[in-house]
Chain A
Amino acid sequence: MRPALWHASGATGVICLVLFSLVAILGILVNQQGRLPGLPRFAVTGLHRHLSLLMIVFLGVHIVTALAARHAKIPWPSAVVPFISGYQRFWVGLGAVALDLLAAVLITSLLRDRLTPFVWRGVHLMAYAAYPVAVGHTYGSHPDVQSGWLFALLLTTALAVVTAVGYRVSRRLRTVSRPHRVPHELARAARSAGG
């Protein structure tokens, strides 16, 4: 019974990271006003939200099964308080850090109507900090993820997210902000007319 719980915790943890990657990529797609084939724009935003909630469900199962598998003796408070677990203190602590960051993102998203866009956006950006922490937790806390096809899966999802983040950053650097857009276009027209 105990190993079954431990295996369930590991499996849901891996799936949780895959879902986190999907959610992050969809979030970047929403931010860039991108589309998926066959889906209108509002459906991409809805998919981002639905998969976020699905990820939270898997995260809950991952945490509960990890704490219930008593062979590791992970105390309940260590799920939310980082670096107090006697079992793999650092790696489990990373998981607690990721959970706290994601909880902040989730709560502010649920209360988005009551928050200013600046506050919501600032907290939402913490998801970018939570992702590498979650990857570190997944890699370090389970030896089976450090080799084989699970490692390949971890690497593929992480690379996909890094690519999406790189795309967003590059677009951000190339985009002219709205107040500077008209002077920028005028200067460009003057340059082309002069040349």
Chain B
Amino acid sequence: MLPKLFASTVACDGPEVQLISPAPRRSARPVTRRQGMIRMSAVTLAISAASVVGSVAIAVSLPEVSVVTATQSTTAAVSPVSAAQTSGSTEGQPVLLTVAGP
């Protein structure tokens, strides 16, 4: 501001000198430390809430898995499923089957 005012003063040369000050700029008010902390906490809380909601939404959207018990009868029923598509095949334990197709 000061150099501009000085320059306009020396540039004006005449009996009637009128200094026209520039229109005040609407500068953004500086954010105080307290405001910054509040905004940061708000953003953190919003992202935390979105993360929790997002994880629940993803968990719900994941496809259903069939849990069967690897007994003698179910072994015969799932015999086309290859060993590579099963896990936890201990007898009597829950088995997660990933079956492609209808």
CB distance from A48 to the nearest CB of B (A): 10
A71-B88, A72-B87 as given contacts; A46 in contact with B40, CB under 8 Å:
yes
**B44 nearest in chain A by CB position:** A50
B44 touches A51 (CB 8 A): yes
Q: Are B62 and A11 in contact (CB under 8 A)?
A: yes
A177 to B53, CA, bound (A): 45
**In the complex, what residues of A have CB within 8 A of residue B33's CB?**
40, 42
Whether A3 pairs with B44 at a CB distance below 8 angstroms is no
| Chain B residues with CB under 8 A of A58 | 51, 55
Which single member of B31, B47, B87 contacts A54 (CB below 8 Å)?
B47
How close is B66's CB to chain A, nearest CB, in angstroms?
9
> By the criterion CB–CB under 8 Å, are A54 and B51 in contact?
yes
Kindly state the separation between the CA atoms of A2 and B39 in the bound complex, as whole angstroms.
40
Chain B hits for A19, CB < 8 A: 47, 51
Interface residues in A, total, Cβ within 8 A? 33
- Are A71 and B96 touching (Cβ within 8 A)? yes
> Does A18 count as interface, using CB distance less than 8 angstroms?
yes
Closest Cβ of chain B: how far from A33's Cβ, in Å?
16
**Docked CA distance A15–B39 (Å):** 23
Tell me the chain A residues, 1-15 only, with Cβ under 8 Å from chain B: 2-4, 6-8, 10-12, 14-15
Contact B40 A39 (CB under 8 A): yes
B residues within 8 A CB of A70?
Answer: 88, 93
Q: Which residue of A lies closest to B90 (CB)?
A: A73
Cβ of B43 under 8 Å from chain A: yes
Contact A50 B40 (CB under 8 A): yes
B58–A11 touching, CB < 8 Å = yes
Residues from chain B with Cβ under 8 Å of A15 in the complex: 51, 54-55, 58
Q: Which residues of B contact A14 (CB under 8 A)?
A: 55, 58
CA distance A52 to B48 in the complex (A): 11
Per-residue B-contact encoding for A9-41, CB less than 8 Å = 1, 0 else: 011101100110010000000000000001110
Q: Are B40 and A43 in contact (CB under 8 A)?
A: yes
Please give the distance in Å from A148's CB to the nearest CB on chain B: 9
Contacts of B39 in A (CB 8 A): 38-39, 43
B59 contacts the other chain (Cβ, under 8 Å)? yes
Whether a CB of chain B sits under 8 angstroms from the CB of A185 is no
Residue from B36, B37, B55, B88 whose CB has the most chain A CB atoms within 10 Å: B55
User: Which residues from B are CB-within-8-Å of A72?
Assistant: 87-88, 96
A-B contact pairs, 13 of them (CB 8 A): A2-B67, A3-B96, A4-B59, A6-B65, A10-B58, A15-B51, A19-B51, A38-B31, A40-B31, A40-B36, A43-B36, A54-B47, A87-B87
